[in-house]
A = this chain, B = another copy of it.
Amino acid sequence: MVLRADARRNRDLLLEAGRALIVERGGMPPLEDIAERAGVGIGTLYRRFPEREQLMIGISAHTLRQVVAAAQAAWDEEPDAWSALSRFVRRCVELRMGVLSSTVDPELHTRIRRDPEVSEVRGQMVDLLARMVEGAQADGVMREDVGPGDIGMLISVHVHQAADIPAELAGAVPGRLAGLMLDGLRARPGTPLPGAAISGTDTEPAGGAH
């Protein structure tokens, strides 16, 4: 069953609005707010996503697709693995992309992760990230005691940045944070990390949902 063009457009607007609101405010925003942000009637939201769960799955998949697109672009266009990773991380922090999950019913969370589309896109994401990490480590420019999962965690931590940074600083902060973070990842004698490197499958690298 194929959506009419306007329906398709509104669907995307809703998913993006949902993602944006979750990032900005944390928690699950009221559905009315999502509709308003999307510039769409509340009825439209309910027509497209009769069940709350469907909306959440949609937002997860949508977010993951954005992350994968950024990773793919970085991988394709940068000359080496470290540059790709670095560009990817910077972009994620800048756009506040990354894992959304936080305060969800764990049971629902599991159902979201089991969704075929989410699971599929998530796989692509993990693969790309793993390739970058392995490449950068093989090139000797990245510390050996981290795994793709660590990068995922690092990025996800930046998604919910405090929103009250004074305006004149807001532009600079993400870049500085990303820079510090990347320097921490470089292969240089530093303090060994506790525990074992976190692999991609251990955890939720990106896009789990509310």
Q: Are A162 and B194 in contact (CB under 8 A)?
A: no
- Looking at A32-40, A69-77, A120-128, A168-176, the stretch in contact with chain B turns out to be A168-176
Q: Are B198 and A190 in contact (CB under 8 A)?
A: no
Choice from B143, B160, B198 contacting A160 with Cβ under 8 Å:
B160
Count of chain A residues with Cβ under 8 Å from any Cβ of B?
A: 54
A44 at the interface (CB under 8 A from B): no
Given contacts A150-B176, A175-B195, A182-B191, contact A208 B164 (CB under 8 A): yes
Choice from B24, B162, B163, B180 contacting A181 with Cβ under 8 Å:
B180
SS class, residues of chain A in contact with chain B = loop
A115 at the interface (CB under 8 A from B): no
Give this chain's copy count.
2
A160 and B181 CA atoms in complex are apart in Å by 17
A184 and B154 CA atoms in complex are apart in Å by 13
List the B side residues contacting A169 at CB < 8 Å: 198, 202-203
Choice from B154, B165, B176, B184 contacting A182 with Cβ under 8 Å:
B184
Query: Given known contacts A27-B27, A176-B198, what 9 new A-B pairs fall within 8 Å (CB)?
Result: A25-B103, A26-B102, A102-B164, A103-B163, A109-B164, A157-B157, A162-B208, A169-B198, A182-B191
